[in-house]
Amino acid sequence: MGRWKPEKLYPLTDIDADEKPRAEKFLADLAAFLREKVDADLIDRTGEIPEDVQTGLRAMGAYGIKVPRKYGGLGFSQTTYCQACLLIASHCGNIFAHISVHQSIGVAQPILLFDTEEQKMKFLPRSAAGELAAFALTENGVGSDSARVKTEAKPDGDDFILNGEKVWCSNGTRAALLIVACKTPPKMVDGKPRTQITTFVVEANSPGVEVVHRSQFMGLRALYNGVIRFTNVRVPKANVIGGEGRGLKVALSTLNSGRLSIPASSIGATKRALLIAREWGKERIQWGVPIGRHAAVAEKIRKIAAHAFAMEAMLITTSRLVDRDKKADIRLEASMCKMWGTEKAWMCLDELMQLRGGRGYENVQSLIARGEKPYPVERLMRDNRVAIIFEASSEIMRLFIMREALDPHLKIAGIALNSERPWGERIKSSWAAARFYVWWYPKQWLPFGGGAPADMHPHLAGYMEEVAALSRKLARTLFHQMVIFGPKLEKR
């Protein structure tokens, strides 16, 4: 709507002073552990995360980074958590996926957002201690359209009985606790039945829970992902998260948090790519000079560095919004971070592959056998390709961002533009819309409002003014397209 709000970006606050020394120590210890104890290529080859690695992660509290200290976790901010994800992903994508799924979309996040104190006391200490958690939402016929889940939960006294099957359940083959989204009996609204989706915490050792298959992928070969079947599984009503019928809100709110860990991993991969590119640019000599001095190669390295900086700036800014308000609505910001960050990371890895040439395409074991330095470019590409798909593909992200941007206009003028609505309703809506747009539209052509804060450095203030102008231009463009296409625009 052209309402640029610079206060969401400025001033960018740091993490709390009492957290900072603890966070710095944790991140330093984590980096040392990854260097000394985690063989990412061995994990890739065997498809297994060694038990001693998982034990070490538990000992340092890595399974409970965001869980408050009163429940046995480290109690760190979203910013520190994302920095940890970045660090882990730069070293081993499998460990990142293992830890991130457990915390971002496993038991901890939805319970922190929606559950009672009793449920927090029951489940959060277990999650923080490293009892692995998984998120079971996707089904064979249900992906991004999560309202169509078929897995059923029927009430039976003080329990629900679950029946159905979930696919691509990351951590599911090893999890102790599962977050499961199910269809529950419909609720009558205006005389019509409305489908209800409810989420539950399910103990993985409950009778009737079965791991049917462990899935194998191009990358992330140690991802404990599989098909989970539920056959007459009895779950107490006390294990409902957020209340009956609120499952979609629980699931989508949980995924918002997960979408920040994915771009964090993309930044980690991009920074690793930048390190490799710079080293190779100095080591590789062609035509008598390091290839990094050739303009074409230097431009590739510059591009990787620039994107890494921009991606991290977006992530830190959005993470700080969460830290200031744990229930902040960051749907748009998280979606933009996820879409843009993962796509740019893939582009940077592709540029790195070009820089390394045949050596980039060759795997680590072959490079070692030939006496070459084993840069894991091939593994980085395999592990990171899925980031553009994980937790909503780029296509779904674009659709969501478009719908969110269009929604205010549709609330004002959607009925007027909908040819399927009665003429009486359309005329009434048209008058209301006209009264709004006669004042709103001219403002989108005027260079007023939403400028830089008074205390901002003049150089940065110029960019803020430019962004404010782009915001007004976007608002005008959306309005023009809505007039042309009407409600059909959100499907284009």
CATH value at residue 93: 1.10.540.10
Record the tokens describing residue 451, joined without a space.
């400028």
Judgement on whether residues 387 and 258 belong to the same structural domain of the protein:
yes
Judgement on whether residues 284 and 356 belong to the same structural domain of the protein:
yes
Mutual angle of helices 458-485 and 423-443, in 10-degree steps: 160
The predicted pLDDT at position 346 comes to 97
pLDDT tens for 33-77 read 999 999 999 999 999 999 999 999 999 999 999 999 999 999 999
CA 103 to chain centre: 12
- Domain count of the chain? 4
Strand partners, 169: 226
Judgement on whether residues 240 and 254 belong to the same structural domain of the protein:
no
- Comparing 10-19, 208-217, 329-338, the range with the smallest average pLDDT is 10-19
- Comparing 162-166, 188-192, 365-369, the range with the smallest average pLDDT is 188-192
Q: Which of 112, 128, 144 is the last residue of a domain?
A: 128
Sign (positive or negative) of CA dihedral 321, 325, 327, 329: negative
Record the tokens describing residue 347, joined without a space.
């582009």
Enter the pTM of the model.
0.91
Query: Is the predicted pLDDT of residue 450 greater than 70, yes or no?
Result: no
Helix (H, G, I), strand (E, B) or coil at 393: coil
Mean pLDDT of 253-280: 91
Cβ 335 vs Cβ 398: under 8 Å: no
Confidence of residue 314 (pLDDT cuts 50, 70, 90): very high
Judgement on whether residues 289 and 416 belong to the same structural domain of the protein:
no
The predicted pLDDT at position 363 comes to 96
Strand partners, 163: 152
Burial of residue 435 (number of CB atoms within 10 Å: 0-12, 13-18, 19+)? exposed
Task: Identify the CA nearest to 76 among candidates 5, 2, 21.
Answer: 21
Cβ 259 vs Cβ 334: under 8 Å: yes
Mutual angle of helices 295-324 and 78-91, in 10-degree steps: 150
Active-site residue, 391 included = yes
Judgement on whether residues 34 and 137 belong to the same structural domain of the protein:
no
Residue that wins the pLDDT comparison between 315 and 328: 315
CATH number at residue 281: 1.20.140.10
- What's the domain range around 347? 250-396
Judgement on whether residues 391 and 274 belong to the same structural domain of the protein:
yes
Judgement on whether residues 194 and 271 belong to the same structural domain of the protein:
no
Distance CA 141, CA 139 (A): 5
- The verdict on residue 1 lying in a domain is no
Q: Which of 128, 147, 181 is the last residue of a domain?
A: 128
- Comparing 71-75, 361-365, 417-421, 471-475, the range with the smallest average pLDDT is 417-421
The predicted pLDDT at position 184 comes to 94
Mean pLDDT of 422-426: 86
Q: Which of 299, 391, 420, 425 is catalytic?
A: 391
Mean pLDDT of 334-349: 96
Judgement on whether residues 256 and 391 belong to the same structural domain of the protein:
yes
Confidence of residue 490 (pLDDT cuts 50, 70, 90): low
Task: Identify the CA nearest to 91 among candidates 271, 247, 332.
Answer: 271
- Report the percent of the chain where pLDDT is more than 70: 98
